[in-house]
Amino acid sequence: MKTGFEKILIAVDKTRYSEMAVHAGFVLAQNLGARVGLIYVVDVSKEVVSADLGITLVQIRSILRDEAEGTIKELIEKYNVSSQTETFIPEGIPEKEIIKASIDWNADVIVMGTHGRSAIGKILTGSVAEYVIRHAVVPVYIIPPRME
């Protein structure tokens, strides 16, 4: 039986909420001597094909994948953690891919940010964090948006 958090999975996207979660996740990992996995899901629900613009599904997916790879690369450089960080860039529905990766990688905890939407916002747009909290098999450390 494990005695602590040895593997921390941090969910990443291109928002400031994600940046706060990344920072908190790396601080937690440093304090615990844990390994980190960064996951940025290429969100297939964002694939809106526009015939008017002449953009194909393949091009959209390529743009989204480049954004994910670039974001992860920037974070690894910013935190200077290339040797001790694993990266995951699956394609799919973010909340489901985060859960899957946490299981496949045997994460001990998931760290992620939240947009702090109102209840009506969650109803209308859904919440990745809410889904992960309800379906994760490990603890989920949610970093709320900061007061401005």
**CATH of segment(s) 31-143:** 3.40.50.620
Place of tokens 């602590």: 4
Q: Tell me the pLDDT tens digit for each residue of 88-112.
A: 999 999 999 999 999 999 999 999 9
Give the residue carrying structure tokens 């919440």: 127
Distance CA 69, CA 14 (A): 11
Does residue 118 register a pLDDT over 80? no
**pLDDT category, 4, cuts 50, 70, 90?**
confident
Which has more pLDDT, 92 or 53?
92
Please state the pTM of the whole predicted model.
0.87
8 Å CB contact between 38 and 86: yes
